[in-house]
A and B are shown apart, each in its own frame.
Chain A
C-alpha cells in the first residue's frame, strides 16, 4: 500500500492549471509589450505628422512669391530670396554693414506678423528665419509658437534650406547673390 496514493485526476488538473498559468503569463507579456509598442507608435505618428507639416511649410516658404526672386515677367528663380523684398517686408532698411553682434530683428515688425491672420493659414505654428552668412544677419520673418501649457512640452523642429540671397550691388547697381539659409521650424507639443 502506498503512503500517498497518486490521484491521477488531481495530477491532471495541476498540469492543466500550470499550462493555463504559463499561457496567461505569455498573454500578459504580449499585452504589456503591445501597449508599450502602441504608446511608442502614437509618439512616432506625432513625430511623422510634425515632420510632414515641416515639409509642407518649408515648401511654402521656398515658393512664396513674397520672398522669391523673379526675372523679367515674373519668371521665378528657385532657391533664391530677394533681399529687396525682405527689406520691404520687415519694414526697415537693413544696414549694409550690421553692428556686431548681428541683431535679431523683432519678428513683430515683420509683414508676415502684421498680417498674422492670413499667414497663420499658410505657415501655422511655425518659425521662419532667414540667415545671411555674408554679414551674419538673422532675420525673423515669422514666429508663431503654441501657447504654453504646463502639462505639455513644446517641441521645435527646424529644417534648413540653403538659398541664394539676391541683392543690388551699391556701386555697380548690378545683381549680386549672397549665400544664406532659411530655417523653417514647426512647433509641436507632447504630453509630459
Chain B
C-alpha cells in the first residue's frame, strides 16, 4: 500500500527528471544557436564596399577613358584624343542599326567613327572587354557590363541593348548572390536618347 509520502517522493523524482530534460533541451538549443551563427556566412562590410566602389569607379574610369589610336577617325573631326563617353558611345547609339552581327567576323558597318576598321559599337565592346579583363578579370571577379539605349524615337520606349560584356570567370545573372552594381551611368546622345551603362560585380 502506498502512503501519501511515497506518492510525494515519486512526484519529486518526476520533477527532477523534467528539470534534467529542460537542462538538456537548453544545452541542445545553445548548440543549435552556435551552429546557426556559424552557418550564416554574412558578407563582410569590406566586401560590399569594395564591390560597390569598384563597380562605380570602373564605369567612371571607362567613360572618362580616351582613345589615341591613329586608326580611329571620323570625317571632319580632327580632335584627338577621342573620348569614349562623349564621342564613341554617342556615335554607337546613333548608328546602332548598322552594327554588324556579333557573330560576324568583319566588324565594319557604317558609323561616323571608325576605329581599327570597325563600327564604333564593335570597337567599344572590344576595347572595354580588354580593359575589364586586364583588371577585374585578373582579380578573378565575375562581372557583367551592359550598355543600353533608351530612345524617344522608339514608340514603345523599350531599351535597345548596344552590347553586353561578361567576365571570363562568368557574368552576373539575375539570381547571383553577393551582387553589387555601379548604378546607372547615363549619357545623353545627339538625338535626345539616353545611353545607360551599368556594371555588375558579383562573387
Residues of chain A touching chain B, judged by Cβ–Cβ distance below 8 Å, are 19, 23, 26, 30, 33, 37, 48, 51-52, 54-55, 58, 62, 77-80, 133, 159-164, 166, 169, 171-172, 174-181
Task: Indicate if B134 sits at the interface (CB-CB under 8 A).
Answer: yes
Q: State A179–B30 Cα separation when bound (angstroms).
A: 53
- Hey, which chain A residues are within 8 Å of B66, CB to CB? 175-178
* Closest Cβ–Cβ distance, residue A49 to chain B (whole Å): 11
Q: State A174–B54 Cα separation when bound (angstroms).
A: 28
* Closest Cβ–Cβ distance, residue A5 to chain B (whole Å): 21
Chain B, residues 19-43, CB within 8 Å of chain A (1/0): the string is 0100100010010001000000000
- Hey, which chain A residues are within 8 Å of B131, CB to CB? 133, 179
Task: Indicate if B7 sits at the interface (CB-CB under 8 A).
Answer: no
Residues of chain B touching chain A, judged by Cβ–Cβ distance below 8 Å, are 20, 23, 27, 30, 34, 44-46, 49-50, 53-54, 56-58, 60-62, 64-66, 68, 79-81, 83, 131, 134-135, 139
* Closest Cβ–Cβ distance, residue B83 to chain A (whole Å): 8
* Closest Cβ–Cβ distance, residue B123 to chain A (whole Å): 15
Contact call A162/B58, Cβ cutoff below 8 A: yes
Contact call A160/B54, Cβ cutoff below 8 A: yes
Contact call A162/B46, Cβ cutoff below 8 A: no
Contact call B34/A51, Cβ cutoff below 8 A: no
Q: State A164–B80 Cα separation when bound (angstroms).
A: 17
- Hey, which chain B residues are within 8 Å of A181, CB to CB? 135
